[in-house]
Amino acid sequence: MKFIIKILKDFPAYLWSGWGSIASIFLFIALWDMGNQLYGDLVLPSPLETFNTLWMMLHDEEVLYEINITLYRAAMGFGLSLLLGSVLGLLAGFFATASMMSRPIVTILVGMPPIAWIVLAMIWFGMGDDTVIFTVVVASFPIIFVGALQGTRTLDGDLNEMAKSFNLPWHMKFVDIYFPHIFSYIFPSWVSGLGMAWKIVVMAELLATSDGIGASLAVARSQLDTPTALALVVIMIGSLMFIEYIILEPLKREVELWRS
Amino acid sequence: MSQEEKLRATNHYLYYPDEKNIQPHFAYGFRPLFLVLAPYMVISMLLWGLIFSGGITVPFIGDTLTWHIYEMLFGLLTAGLLAFLSTGLPELFPGLVPLVGKELKNITILWLLGRLSFWTMGWTGVYLAAILNLAMLAWIIWFARHAVLDKLQRHASLGYTAVAIFLIETWFFSAQAGLVETPPMDILKVALGAIVVLILLALRRVNMEAINELMEDEDIDDVFISRPPKTNLALFAVIIFTIVEFFYPTSSALGWLGFAVSAGIIGITGEYILKDEKILHLAYVRYLASVYVLFAIGYALMGWDLLNPDIYGLNHFRHFITTGGIGLSYLVVMLIISTVHTGRHLVASWKTHLMVLLIITATFMRGLIPFFEEYTSALYIASTIAWTLPFIIYIKLYFEFLLRPRADGIKG
């Protein structure tokens, strides 16, 4: 409880520190606007037109339905990889043999291009939710797995010994020694896993389904509707930024305070 | 006076010149300059009011509005800048001998001659005004050369910006004399960008000095450090905005840049949130923060205008930067320097609140004219009065500080 109150208390100051990021986003949008002036509306619609399209889309029931579908798939896929990756990674980290064994397998998983997974998944599961969710899991699981594995592998032996000699109860050992260390490894991997899930879900939808943001993107492409395509991209980036900077980052700051 | 207080007072400089019989009003750089600047602000605003309402006619070469903007930017800037540098540099570079006495008197006279040549330009010609005004700025740059030549380059940015402003002023006079083709109004917009850069650079230093002094007075056990990155991001955005505005004044990209500048400048206020202690309740911190807020509102409104075809208020909104940000920064810096450097503690009162509020009110009245067009002339008059009043109050309250020796008895 104390932890949550602290996060909420620091939240306004944290939000206020975001002005610099907002400034650089606007600088980027200005660059985008110049691109529009150089190459014309068809190649790169102006930011203003894109945001207007986005505004209209967000008032359209059908588009909201597509967004919900994509969110569901991304959340399912990411949730599964979070669970599997964290649990298996932590376990593998505790046993030297297991971590030695899992290394090459992870390399295979990471090395395989997601597009190849999509093709396989389409053959295995057909066109639908399962294909997308599977691809998301396959792509973000290894990232989280490696993070968790590193977290347990690098636990400080000296601290452990100290805890033993002071006869610390198991919950204190967990909360004060293991958790902060492991979390500082596993949390960034969750963030990158989430980013990966967000990108893969659109790609998989574009190729393997007839609904969701990815499918809408495919339709926009076939109709040369660049404003809609960009508006969809803005939705994806906007939601990712919201989750990463508004929800995850404040958590991370509080948890990693011990480092400084 | 305790030993510690004495030590703090002498922190402002290492050596004091040996000159005999220095009168109190020439005892330190800011004194005579503020003594002439504050009345000049009041008198010139009165004159401009009369000129624009048709009450009097002063023959200028070409467009009166252009010269009005010139004077409000460059005329005031040279006095303000010299006051700031001659007070601040001996502190930033211990070993630099403060500017006092005869030399200070001469440079103040040069500034006054510059003003005279400006108002009599119709008879004396643009070249005399150009020479006197450029000479003043050139002298300031020469005085501040230590900042540029400093090996560590800690405050070199101030010097480089001053040089840039000198070049822009030369460009402006060349355009007025018909030597170059650039429209003078476009050059003034570039000048405004450069002056905003200079003020942001100067405020970073004023913030550090004033806020740490305040925290010491209030027994707040923390240090306020204004690190460069936040200011630099804002500066970068301002510079890009100024360049793009010169070449593509109606581009929609400029609109987004306006928002970028706004966010960058408001981001600087994040420095007031310290890790352990709170300082946002201190009045002077709020005054200083208001400068950034006014700048930010100005750039955001300009951005909004450029992206919205139904709004025609660009030059009105620009007054949030000029009347607002620049005006308030002059006032707050004058208040801080006149208090701290005459050996007094920085204490806010309802009078200082009133002065700051008047400038802010004047800014909103002037800047939001496009939304209340039916009251245009009333708003012009009201904002002029509201903007001038704080400087009249300043004359009433602070001139005795400037005309008497330091309260703590040390020289300067």
Q: Which residue of A has its CA nearest to B274?
A: A13
Q: What is the pLDDT of residue B10?
A: 53
Counting one residue from A and one from B, how many pairs have CB atoms under 8 Å apart?
Answer: 68
- Is the CB of residue A17 less than 8 Å away from at least one CB of chain B? yes
Residues B177, B203: contact at Cβ < 8 Å?
A: no
Q: What is the pLDDT of residue A70?
A: 92
Compute the 3-state secondary structure of chain A and give helix, strand, coil in percent, each to the nearest 5.
85, 0, 15
Token code pair at residue B131: 């020479």
Write out chain B residues lying below 8 Å of A55, CB-based. none
Distance from the Cα of A45 to chain B's closest Cα (Å) equals: 13
Q: Do A27 and B260 touch (CB under 8 A)?
A: yes
Q: What is the pLDDT of residue B82?
A: 93
Burial class (CB in 10 A: 0-12, 13-18, 19+), B230: buried
The tens digit of pLDDT for each residue in A113-155 reads 989 999 999 999 988 889 999 999 999 999 999 999 988 888 8
The tens digit of pLDDT for each residue in A155-214 reads 877 887 888 888 888 888 878 888 888 888 898 899 889 989 988 999 999 998 889 999
Token code pair at residue B11: 């922190």
CA B48 to chain centre: 19
Map out the domains of chain B with their CATH numbers: 11-16+24-403 (1.20.210.10)
Distance from the Cα of A41 to chain B's closest Cα (Å) equals: 14
Q: Do B254 and A30 touch (CB under 8 A)?
A: yes
Does the ipTM surpass 0.95?
no
Q: What is the pLDDT of residue B11?
A: 66
- Write a three-state SS string for B116-170: HHHHCHHHHCHHHHHHHHHHHHHHHHHHCHHHHHCCCCCCHHHHHHHHHHHHHHH
**Residue of A23, A30, A37 with shortest CB distance to B264:** A23
Q: What is the pLDDT of residue A260?
A: 57
Q: How many CB atoms lie within 10 A of CB B211?
A: 25
Q: Do B260 and A23 touch (CB under 8 A)?
A: yes
Q: Do B251 and A33 touch (CB under 8 A)?
A: yes
Map out the domains of chain A with their CATH numbers: 2-259 (1.10.3720.10)
CA B287 to chain centre: 14
- Alpha-carbon distance of B411 to A84, in angstroms, equals 74
Q: What is the pLDDT of residue B1?
A: 46
Reduced to 3 states (helix: H, G, I; strand: E, B; else coil), residue B278 is: strand
Q: How many CB atoms lie within 10 A of CB B132?
A: 19
User: What averages of pLDDT result for each successive group of 10 residues across chain B (412 residues)?
Assistant: 52 76 88 96 94 87 91 95 90 82 93 96 92 95 84 86 96 94 96 97 92 88 89 96 96 96 96 87 94 97 94 93 96 94 91 97 95 92 95 96 88 80
Token code pair at residue A53: 């399209």
- Is the CB of residue A47 less than 8 Å away from at least one CB of chain B? yes
Q: Which residue of B has its CA nearest to A14?
A: B270
